[in-house]
Amino acid sequence: VGYYAKKNNIKLEHLVDVFAPVLILAYGIGRMGCHFSGDGDWGIVNTASKPDWMSFLPDWMWSYNYPNNVINAGELIPGCEGNFCHQLAENVYPTPFYEIIMAGLIFVFLWSIRKKIKIAGVLFCIYLILNGIERFLIEKIRINHDMIGEQTQAEIISFSLILIGILGIYFLNKREGNTSTQKN
């Protein structure tokens, strides 16, 4: 991709804008694999009752025990034989499912604004901000063991994505302003 862009004089800002919606869509699709395989990327124990306003949704969307998970976490499923015969003892928040939904919403938003943004690189910066916010929020209910002080590693990465996105928009707008005043 880099070779093609360089050969055809495609600027990096334009290239990353093209990939912004695709990256979040791919992230959501990847989370489907996490959810359906039960790879341990789930949330904290959820003992709360499902809210009434969610009563029409299946219970697994609120809390899930990841039966037949690929890491064999939890207790044995009675009567199950062979590989992947474990389920969690307590239901947890199905955070990969929540990320699938959030990634889909971010994709739709980025896709809907992509032609309205006039400064190359800004769409990618918006992607960084939204992806950072999404990850930061989901980390509040996800099982996480990688701590750096009081923050999880993922929260630090999320904050970094948000900061880079904000600074990117600032500098791209500033550069665009300088470019347009020089043309006059």
Q: pLDDT of 6-20, one tens digit each?
A: 899 999 899 999 999
Cα 29–Cα 31–Cα 34 angle in degrees, nearest 5: 130
Mean pLDDT per 10-residue interval, the chain, length 184 residues = 86 93 97 95 94 95 96 95 94 97 98 96 98 95 80 91 98 83 51
Domain ranges of the chain: 2-42+94-176
**For 71, phi and psi rounded to 5 degrees?**
-100, 5
Distance CA 60, CA 31 (A): 16
Share of the chain above pLDDT 70, in %: 96
pTM for this model (two decimals)? 0.88
The alpha carbon of 22 is separated from its chain's Cα centroid by a whole number of angstroms, namely 12
pLDDT at residue 5, as a whole number: 85
pLDDT digits (tens, 9 = 90+) for 114-133: 999 999 999 999 999 999 99
Taking phi over 0 as left and psi of -120 to 50 as alpha, with beta for the rest, 83 belongs to beta
Cα 164–Cα 168–Cα 174 angle in degrees, nearest 5: 150
Classify strands 86-87 and 151-152 as parallel, antiparallel or unpaired.
Answer: unpaired
pLDDT digits (tens, 9 = 90+) for 152-161: 888 999 999 9
